[in-house]
Amino acid sequence: MVTYAELVAKHAVKTNKAVAAFSKALDKQIDGLRKGEFNRRSWAKEDISGFHVKLGKLEDEFQFDTKEDVLTFFDQIKAAIRDDSDFTAKIEELYGDVQPNEEPKTKRGRKPKNA
């Protein structure tokens, strides 16, 4: 008879939280770029000479001429996440300290009156 622990050990899917956080952020950036939505937190910013790209917390910066070049680059980054162990190690180093969101502090309301 097979125990639950043996099944988990054999078939469980292990996710790398740091790489998952980076991939999720990359997907959001791709969607925003396709829609043409840029803000101060966008990884790709349009300037006079084309597009300036900085990949989140990674220190490298890139310059591209067209939006299609940036989208191709983002697709190559997605492939590198799957294939390049050095790149995933770098992501784990920078995004490894991902903490769950803390609950917001409650606002102070009106103080009760003394009766």
- Summarize pLDDT for 12-47 with one digit per residue, the tens: 767 778 888 889 999 999 999 999 888 888 999 988
Cα–Cα distance, 16 to 85 (Å, whole number): 12
Cα–Cα distance, 100 to 34 (Å, whole number): 29
Contact 77, 64 (CB under 8 A): no
Q: What is the pTM of this model?
A: 0.70
Cα–Cα distance, 41 to 56 (Å, whole number): 9
Contact 15, 22 (CB under 8 A): no
- Summarize pLDDT for 98-114 with one digit per residue, the tens: 455 667 777 777 777 77
